Amino acid sequence: MRLSKTKGMVTTMSYTPDAKRVKKRRGDRHDGRRLRSLDAYHAMQSYIMVKRNDASNYFSDSIEVTEIDRYLRRKRADGMAGLGILHVIAAAYVRMAARYPGVNRFVSGQRVYARCGVELVMTIKSDLKMDAPETSVKVRLDVTDTIYDVFGKINAEIEKVKNRAVTSTDDAASSLMKLPRLLLKFVMFTLNVLDYFGKMPKALLDASPFHGSVIITDLGSIGLPPIYHHLYNFGNLPLFIALGAKRRESETQKDGSVIERKYLDYTLVADERIADGFHFSQVYRYFKAILKTPETLDRPPEETARDID
């Protein structure tokens, strides 16, 4: 099966049982494969909108969570204690990346790359206290992962944080903060230059919470509505998803009856340079379809798509 041909950043992609990895070529990075077949108009966007904040698009919507709540209750009863809406959203993103790999691109050094694998970034606190330390975890996922895989991998990374005093991210930050201010500014300048040319050491890329596919924050867990969180100009994170608290709404039906529904508000800030509006619209429709039938996340995708060359 093939997707229809379109102009711009969405081009024909073949669906294959497994998207094969391509041998690394000159211009590729540790974390991504350079896309060389983009048309000139879209390749030029990174020179017009140089920084991620220049290219940020802001989007908000609500999810009707009746089916998701039923799904979560069934899974918890089956032994997946602690399964929550964040796991479902993360698994839905993985499924979107499997079908529409353009959502897993990033821009670095005025070039667009297809990311190698899926990297989910989350910011967590060790305890819900004002003085509790905050840190970031990076979860490495695969496009064939199911809800079981996503749940297990996220929980494993969180347990690692709980079982040790500091993470690799904390180690790197602590080492850098020991430097004098001017020297630290020079180090950050050097890191930006290395990142621009795709030469940042892999160990730093692995530890950096600013390099990844998407960052998700569950503000509803602390009783807050979702905010429009800015994208970081340092690194290459192209998507920031903020989830709010669930809310109830009374709705009048055609027959005059009133029923109560439960909704979850969320916001998305996206780097528009990674894909065009048509691609994002297809991703959005697919995302809504997944959340209406979350049981599809129990099984790996039948096929995965490889991004353009």
Does a structural domain hold residue 3? no
Range of the domain at 152: 28-304
pLDDT in tens, 59-99: 999 999 999 999 999 999 999 999 999 999 999 999 999 99
* Closest alpha carbon to 39 in 73, 10, 8, 82: 8
In whole angstroms, give the CA distance from residue 160 to residue 273: 35
pLDDT at 130: 59
* Closest alpha carbon to 61 in 222, 286, 259, 284: 284
Does a structural domain hold residue 17? no
Does a structural domain hold residue 110? yes
Residue stretches of the chain with pLDDT short of 50: 1-20
Does a structural domain hold residue 104? yes
What's the domain count of the chain?
Answer: 1
Query: Phi and psi for 114 in degrees, rounded to 5?
Result: -95, 125
CATH code where residue 247 lies: 3.30.559.10
pLDDT at 12: 32
Does a structural domain hold residue 291? yes
Find out whether 17 and 303 touch, Cβ atoms under 8 Å.
yes
Does a structural domain hold residue 23? no
Does a structural domain hold residue 8? no
**Beta bridge partner(s), residue 30:** none
Does a structural domain hold residue 12? no
pLDDT at 168: 67
**Beta bridge partner(s), residue 252:** 258
In whole angstroms, give the CA distance from residue 11 to residue 2: 10
